[in-house]
Amino acid sequence: MQIAKKQTKQIKLNMNDFFDKIGVLIALVILVVVLSIFAPNFATSSNIFSVLQQIAVNGIIAVGMTYVILLGGIDLSVGSIVAFTGLVVALAMKNGIPVIVALLIGILVGGAIGFLNGVLISKVKLQPFVATLGTMTMFRGLAYTITNGQPVYQLPEFFTGLAGFIGPVPKPVIIMILAFAIGGYSLKYTKFGRHMYAIGGNRVASQLSGINVKKQEMWVYTLSGICCSVAAILLTSRMGSAVATAADGYELDAIAAVAIGGTSMAGGKGSVSGTLIGALIIGVIANGLNLLNVQQGPQRFVKGLIIILAVVIEAVRERKAKN
């Protein structure tokens, strides 16, 4: 009898997750249709590819953010990591370091900052909000310090070509798809992914079952930093320069994508496929509002409102699931 009840509950939860994803997808379709009507230039092929290219950077950051939030954490430092890493890569190339080596240095720097976040949270036992708020401020400050607020430009052509096209498809979009594919596979088919869900669902029970929670946290924040460094490379390549103000507010976009995609802000539930849909919704809204000549202030208000609504909807779902 107990087994039958558990199976029924699990089936119900799986069906709810399925309909949640379908609901978000339907919302995206409705949004595209509405913007196609009110902003005639929206539905053109060139604009669609432009939207995809614009969301590539946020999408890659959001993959790492999905990991972090699934674990029950938060990473406010992602925008600063992108800015600082982009500057490190650009300065390395300006000082004669080969492009490939500069890229590897950038990835290592991003991973190291993520690892620092993980150490502060898992070893020093700072709250994720406090730890990543601190590193956010530190590395944004370092970005300004090492450049005196000046842009680093005239980068090698091979590097700027990373943001080019393969046929009609922007290279950053291909890299974003690969990032989501790897993220989805790791969550669904690896022990690392299963542990992430377990820790986010019940940290104490995970520790008692033998999962090394501290090690998992350090790996997750390190991977978030690596995702940021990849995003930094693509953003710097697309802009053709690195600036200390780059990626300002990108943490908001990444968190919004994860929340809209159905990942529980309390941890333990979510997917990168949902995050991809969330990133698409954020990108479509931003592009549509730009085409409709809406200023940045109202755009930020809309993003904040969307995050609140997504969290409220998730809280209602959680209460219903418990009942």
Per-residue pLDDT of the chain (323 residues; tens, 9 = 90+): 444 444 444 444 454 555 566 778 888 899 899 999 988 889 898 899 989 999 999 999 999 999 999 999 999 999 999 999 999 999 999 999 999 999 999 999 999 999 999 999 999 999 999 999 999 999 999 999 999 989 999 999 999 999 999 988 999 999 999 999 999 999 999 999 999 999 999 999 999 999 999 999 999 999 999 999 999 999 999 999 999 999 998 999 999 999 999 899 889 999 999 999 999 999 999 999 899 888 888 888 887 888 788 778 777 777 776 66
pTM of the entire predicted model = 0.91
Q: What is the model's pLDDT at position 19?
A: 53
Which residues, in sequence order, are bridge partners of residue 170? 165
d(CA 66, CA 274): 10
Structure letter (DSSP) for residue 163: G
Q: Say which residues have a Cβ less than 8 Å from residue 252's Cβ, sequence separation at least 6.
A: 300, 303, 304, 307
At which residue do the structure tokens 């802009």 appear? Answer: 239
Q: How many CA atoms lie within 13 A of 100 on its CB side?
A: 0
Residue 194 has what pLDDT? 95
User: CB under 8 Å to 123, separation ≥6 — which residues?
Assistant: 214
Task: Report yes or no: 175 and 230 within 8 Å, Cβ to Cβ.
Answer: yes
63 neighbors 49 (Cβ within 8 angstroms): no
Residues whose CB is less than 8 angstroms from the CB of residue 236 and which lie 6 or more positions away in sequence, other chains included: 86, 89, 90, 155, 159, 242, 246
The CB-side HSE value for 40 (13 A sphere, CA atoms) comes to 0
pLDDT at 9: 46
Exposed, middle or buried, 274 (CB in 10 Å: 0-12/13-18/19+)? Answer: buried
- Output the pLDDT for position 21: 64
Return the amino acid letter for 206: S
Beta bridge partners of 169: 166
- Token look-up 């309390």 returns 266
- Domains detected in the chain: 22-35+44-322 (1.10.3470)
Ramachandran region, residue 310 (left: φ > 0; alpha: ψ -120 to 50; beta: rest): alpha
